[in-house]
Amino acid sequence: MKSKGLYSGPSVRGRLFTVLIMVFLYAPIFVLIVFSFNASSSRAVWSGFTLKWYRELFGDKYIMSSFYTTIAVSVTAAAASTAVGAASAIGLHHMRRAWRTPILFVNNIPLINADIVTGVAMCLLFVSLKAFINFELGFGTLLIAHITFNIPYVILSVTPRLYSLDANLMDAARDLGCTFFGAIRRVMLPEIMPGIVNGAIIAFTMSIDDFVISYFTAGSRAETLSMTIYAMTRKRISPEINALSTLLFVSVLALLVIINIRQKSEVRLQ
Amino acid sequence: MRNNGAVHGAFRSAAMRFFSPRALAAPYVVWMAAFVVAPIVFVVIYAFTAGDGAFTVGNFAEMGRFVGVFARSFWLALISTAVCLALGYPAAYILARESGRVQRAAVVLIMLPMWMNFLLRTYAWMSILERNGLLNRLLGALGIAPLDIIYTPAAVVIGMVYNFLPFMVLPIYSVIAKIDRSLIEAAADLGAAPRAVFTRVIAPLSLPGVLSGVTMVFVPAVSTFVISKLLGGGKEILLGDLIEMQFRGAAYNPRLGSAISLVMMVIVIVFMYFMNRFGEGEEGVAIL
């Protein structure tokens, strides 16, 4: 059956409004992509087509190293927070309400707090600990910060799945001789997997996009792409950054199109 | 040897207690205590101590100098939130009336810009809004006098609305899309005009989404420090800039910075509290 809208399709005026919103959302992205092919390094005057910035990008050690840092911290933080978050969502689900409520309150703190407050607070913790333990702010502290702000998203995306899971299924598995962890692996995990995958994607996206928290927790030894771009905004952003962002944007777009096509063909097969 | 089974059983139940499913949450509880609760404790300690470690409220008294910054931040955040709501609600409402395929595509299109670095997108607005930027050249081609937008509060509001609009559209859309169609049909069957269907059925039911959207726009808007720097030119600083300066800038003073952060945290919590009381439930779900 074709899924329908609210009651009737929107009017022409309504559609025009949505199109204008999309123009607003995509205007700067369009500008960024167009100027990644600009022959001069001006950010507003077009002076001919070139692929120079794409070639120079791969030779730029500074930009590439902060790109690798971003990828490394996002992948590691997403993996770690997904594992910890999924396990603790299961744990929390089996906890008494009196325990669960305060823990979920703490879980919500990084979600509702302004990023800058989260970043500053962790910065204070790390700087204060430096008086007792010998370490420097760098990739390690950056990773800790990213895992910390990612876990709440994973928990929030796994928990609804646990609630919709039929508790009888777990009991049946136990009665048929499964150990508790065997039942989790064979019965629960397959059921809650979409929530876990969703949580991992959200965590990865949050890490890639983060600037503020990284800025306060990475010290001077590690630098993510956002931090590099921020440092550049004080003078001039190199068009190589436009080129890199265009490549990232196109890859995400391609990935989404592929997922969409695959889902469609799966539906057709069924 | 009859006891053996009982001993074994006792051992097993002890092991079960140790490995109870609750234990799965243990690493997380320790982690959150260390990296969410402890940092906040440090903020509180710093906010209430002087350089020599003695208790003081002087850091809060010092904030009196920055009343203007507080007022400006809240004012700009309120305007941005209002503009986001004015643009985002109709967009979400129109979107929910489209066919399922268009809806899914549109949701992806709204989220996709978030994959482009937000600093870069904000920077792109500089090229658009500049004195000799793309907008003014477009206006010039149409014979309209150029606008002086860059480095004004209007530019900061445009930047905030641009960055945070998806956070308004998505929660409202997801709530409207879930409204039971039969409720709308019932209202229409019982004689409600389209306007009444909207004001008496759809609007009240979409309130949780609106509250969630308002929170998700207001909190980052009141605390941003990059948008004001890039588009506002850094002349008129906002709360986020003020905090940043105390930790990483020339005005290094983490104690004052902690005091401002603490005040901001309290304001956000109070704001959230009223929002939640207003439209009970749905918080965690609507955030995603």
pLDDT tens for residues A205-249?
899 989 999 999 998 889 999 999 999 988 888 899 999 999 988
Instruction: For residue B229, give Cα distances in angstroms to A242, B151, B232, B243.
Output: 20, 9, 6, 13
**In terms of pLDDT, which residue wins out, B230 or B2?**
B230
Looking at the fold, whether A40 and A74 belong to one and the same domain comes out as no
**Of A6, A10, A209, which is closest to B114 when you measure between CB atoms?**
A209
Most confident of A48-52, A145-149, A259-263: A145-149
Q: Domain B63-287 is of which CATH architecture?
A: Orthogonal Bundle (1.10)
List the 95-134 stretch of B: residues with Cβ below 8 A of A. Answer: 95-100, 103, 106, 108-110, 112-128, 130, 132-134
Choosing among B19, B20, B22, which should be mutated to test the A contact, i.e. which has the most A CBs within 10 A? B22
* A226 interface with B at CB cutoff 8 Å: yes
State the pLDDT at residue B31: 95
Contact B29 A226 (CB under 8 A): no
Determine contact, residues B171/B206, Cβ cutoff 8 Å.
Answer: no
CB contact A171 to B (< 8 Å): no
Asked whether the CA dihedral A223, A225, A231, A237 is positive or negative, the reply is positive
Pair (A188, A105) in one structural domain: yes
Give the per-residue pLDDT at B250: 75
Q: Report pLDDT for A2.
A: 40
The pLDDT mean for chain A works out to 89
pLDDT at B11 over 50: yes
Give the pLDDT mean for B99-117: 86
Q: Is the pLDDT of residue A4 over 50?
A: no
Instruction: Calculate the alpha carbon distances from B222 to B73, B89, B210 in Å.
Output: 6, 21, 18
Task: Nearest chain B residue to A109 by CA: give it.
Answer: B36
Q: Does residue A84 lie in a domain region?
A: yes
Same domain assignment for residues A169 and A195: yes
**Does a structural domain hold residue A129?**
yes
Q: Quick one: pLDDT at residue B15?
A: 53
Confirm if B135 and B147 have CB atoms less than 8 A apart.
yes
pLDDT exceeds cutoff 60 at B3: no
Nearest to A17 among B91, B127, B225 (CB): B91
Say if A2 falls within a structural domain. Answer: no
Cβ A116–B225 below 8 Å, yes or no? yes
The residues, ordered by sequence, that sit 6+ positions from B197 with a Cβ below 8 Å of its Cβ are B184, B187, B188
- Secondary structure of residue A38 in the 3-state scheme: strand
As a whole number, mean pLDDT of residues B7-21 equals 57
**Domain containing A132: what range?**
56-243
**Can you tell me whether residue B66 is helix, strand or coil?**
helix
Q: Which residues in chain B are closer than 8 Å to A218, comparing Cβ atoms?
A: none
pLDDT at B235: 79
CB contact under 8 A, A44 and B130: yes
A7 and B CB contact within 8 Å: yes
State the nearest Cα–Cα gap between A139 and chain B, in angstroms: 16
Q: Is residue A254 part of a domain?
A: no
Read off the DSSP letter of residue B151: T
Task: Assess: ipTM above 0.90.
Answer: no
Burial string for B7-41 (b: 16+ CB within 10 Å, else e) reads eeeeeeeeeeeeeebbebbeebbebbeebbebbbe
CA distance A31 to chain B (A): 7
Q: Do A109 and B264 touch (CB under 8 A)?
A: no
Q: How far is B2 from chain A (nearest CA, A)?
A: 24
Residue for token pair 């005040």: B263
B285–chain A Cβ distance below 8 A for any pair:
yes
Question: Are B97 and A6 a contacting pair at CB < 8 A?
Answer: yes
In the predicted structure, residue B133 carries a pLDDT above the cut 80: yes
How does residue A8 score in pLDDT terms, banded at 50, 70 and 90? low
Q: Report d(CA A96, CA A52) in Å as an integer.
A: 61
Question: What residues does A38 pair with on adjacent strands?
Answer: A49
- Nearest by CB to residue B117, choosing from A92, A216, A225, is A225
Contact (CB<8Å) B96/A114? no
Q: Does residue A32 belong to the interface with chain B, where contact is any CB pair within 8 Å?
A: yes
B282 pLDDT band (50/70/90 cuts)? very low
B33: chain A residues, CB-CB within 8 Å: 106
Judgement on whether residues A87 and A181 belong to the same structural domain of the protein: yes
Interface of A with B in 52-91 (CB under 8 A): 84-85, 87-88, 90-91
Mutate to test the interface with B, among A17, A112, A252, A259 (most CBs of B within 10 A): A112
* Residue-level pLDDT at B14: 54
Judged against a pLDDT cut of 70, whether residue A40 lies above it is answered with yes
- Does one domain contain both A25 and A118? no
Tell me: pLDDT of B182 over 60: yes
Please tell me if residue A225 touches chain B, with a CB cutoff of 8 Å.
yes
What pLDDT is attached to residue A212? 94
Instruction: For B39-92, write each residue's pLDDT tens digit.
Output: 999 999 999 999 888 999 999 999 999 999 999 999 999 999 999 999 999 999
Tell me which chain B residues have a C-beta less than 8 angstroms from the C-beta of A256: 108, 112
Query: pLDDT value at position A127?
Result: 92
Does position B162 have pLDDT exceeding 80, yes or no?
Answer: yes
Is A262 domain-assigned?
A: no
Question: Residue A6: what are its φ and ψ, rounded to 5°?
Answer: -60, -60
Gap from A165 CA to chain B (nearest CA, Å): 16
Residue A253 at interface with chain B, using a CB cutoff of 8 Å: yes
Are A36 and A119 found together in one domain? no
**Percent of all residues in chain B with a pLDDT value above 90, rounded to a whole number:** 47
Q: Between chains, do B257 and A84 touch, taking CB under 8 Å as contact?
A: no
Say yes or no: B53 contacts chain A, CB-CB below 8 A.
no
Q: Averaged over B92-98, what is the pLDDT? A: 90
With CB atoms and an 8 Å threshold, state whether B21 touches A90: yes
- Asked if residue A143 has pLDDT above 50, the reply is yes
Contact B118 A211 (CB under 8 A): yes
A50, with CB counted inside 10 A (0-12, 13-18, 19+), is: middle
Q: Does B21 score more than 70 pLDDT? A: yes
Task: Kindly tell me if the per-residue pLDDT of B1 is higher than 50.
Answer: no
pLDDT at site A54: 94
Distances in Å between the Cα of A146 and the Cα atoms of A108, A127, A205, B39, B116 are: 15, 17, 11, 14, 19
Judged by CB atoms within 8 Å, which residues 113-142 of A form the interface with B? 113-118, 120-125, 127-128
Q: pLDDT tens for residues A75-134? A: 999 999 999 999 999 999 988 889 898 998 899 889 889 999 999 999 999 999 998 998
Residue A141 shares a structural domain with residue A181 = yes
Q: Do A97 and A158 lie in a common domain? A: yes
Is A7 contained in some domain?
no
Q: Does residue B234 or residue A173 have the better pLDDT?
A: A173
pLDDT of residue B13: 54
**What would the mean pLDDT of B111-121 be, rounded to a whole number?**
86
Q: Is there a single domain that holds both residue A210 and residue A123?
A: yes
pLDDT at B18: 54
The C-alpha of A4 sits at a distance from chain B's nearest C-alpha, in angstroms, of 5
CATH number at residue A135: 1.10.3720.10
Do the chains contact at B91 and A256, CB–CB below 8 Å? no
Which residues of chain B lie closer than 8 angstroms to A15, CB-CB?
94
Task: Check whether A160 has a pLDDT greater than 60.
Answer: yes
As for how many domains chain A has, the answer is 2
Looking at the structure, tell me whether residues A223 and A177 fall in a common domain. Answer: yes
Does A130 share its domain with A174? yes
- Whether B181 shows a pLDDT value over 90: the answer reads no
**pLDDT-derived band at B288, boundaries 50, 70, 90:** very low
Distance, CA of B239 to CA of B76 (rounded, Å): 11
pLDDT tens figures, A167-217: 888 888 888 888 888 888 888 999 899 999 989 988 998 999 899 999 999
Name which of A13-17, A138-142, A174-178 the model is least confident about. A174-178
Prediction pTM value: 0.87
Cβ-Cβ contacts under 8 Å, B244 against chain A:
116
Confidence bin at A5 (pLDDT 50/70/90): very low
Whether residues A206 and A230 fall in one domain? yes
- pLDDT of amino acid B279: 58
